[in-house]
Amino acid sequence: MEWLNNFTGWQLALMGTGFTWFLTALGASLVFFYKNLSEKAFSFMMSSAAGIMLASTFFSLLMPAMEMVEEYSYLVLTCGFVLGGALIIVTDIVISKLHMFSDNQSKRGCAVMCIAVTMHNIPEGMAVGVAFGALASGQTVEGVAAVMLAIGIGIQNFPEGMCVAFPLRANGFSRKKSFLIGQLSGAVEIVAGVIGALAVTAVNGILPWALSFSAGAMLAVVCSELIPESFAQGKVKATIGVIFGFALMMILDLAFG
């Protein structure tokens, strides 16, 4: 991971979120070839991503933040964590109260899905940007942790791209338009990631807050989106996926971090 030191924080964030966007676009591109995705494959993919992101919440975000704060670490981490989780909770509440396309429930569902995925991608992109910004600033975040965080978010972005593109296609959108809208839902991560990296690079004091904020947002996304969706298809398989993802992230972080 030494080669990562050759780049600035925003450049690393651009590459990391570029990867997560690519997997979003890759998932959306399946609308050109398939009508739907196997429920078993979808469940395992989402649960594995949940495990990776849960591990990343601690190993890549909260633990480095803890090591950076000398005084009142419990206050800084708790406040940042709660604020990050609150962002996702408020977003979900606002989305649930939307009355778009009230005359067509199917189209309304598509609109809500697009907004939900896009809004949730903002803190995810910020988490990647903050991790890479911390790495470039010489903080305690390890290269492998930042990379695995991007991989975990990218994995769960793959089915998200499909979740946006396929319903749009089913509601009469062309394959091209369905793909374009689907991949755009992940493009916001690039902007959020670069902003996050620039912020922590410019203001070191904000880093523990940003890391804990991103951790809270990511945990809320995992609990509100990934866990329910994956476990709806079968508790045993989803549990195996979560354990697999968490163990993979933990092994890589401890072995190479």
pTM: 0.67
17 belongs to a structural domain: no
Name which residue leads in pLDDT, 185 or 241: 241
Q: Looking at the 3D structure of the chain, how many domains does it have?
A: 1
Cα–Cα dist 72/89, whole Å = 26
Sequence-distant contacts of 111-120: CB under 8 A, at least 24 apart: 113/163, 113/164, 113/167, 114/164, 114/168, 114/181, 114/185, 116/91, 116/92, 116/225, 117/160, 117/163, 117/164, 117/185, 118/184, 118/185, 118/188, 119/91, 119/95, 120/88, 120/91, 120/221, 120/225
Task: Establish if 130 belongs to a structural domain.
Answer: yes
- Residue 101's pLDDT is 47
Residue 179: the pLDDT is: 92
First-to-last C-alpha distance (Å) of the chain: 9
Does any domain span residue 15?
Answer: no
* Residue 2: per-residue pLDDT: 67
Name which of 9-13, 75-79, 158-162, 246-250 the model is least confident about: 158-162
Q: Write out the residue range of the structural domain in which residue 67 sits.
A: 37-256
Mean of pLDDT over the chain: 79
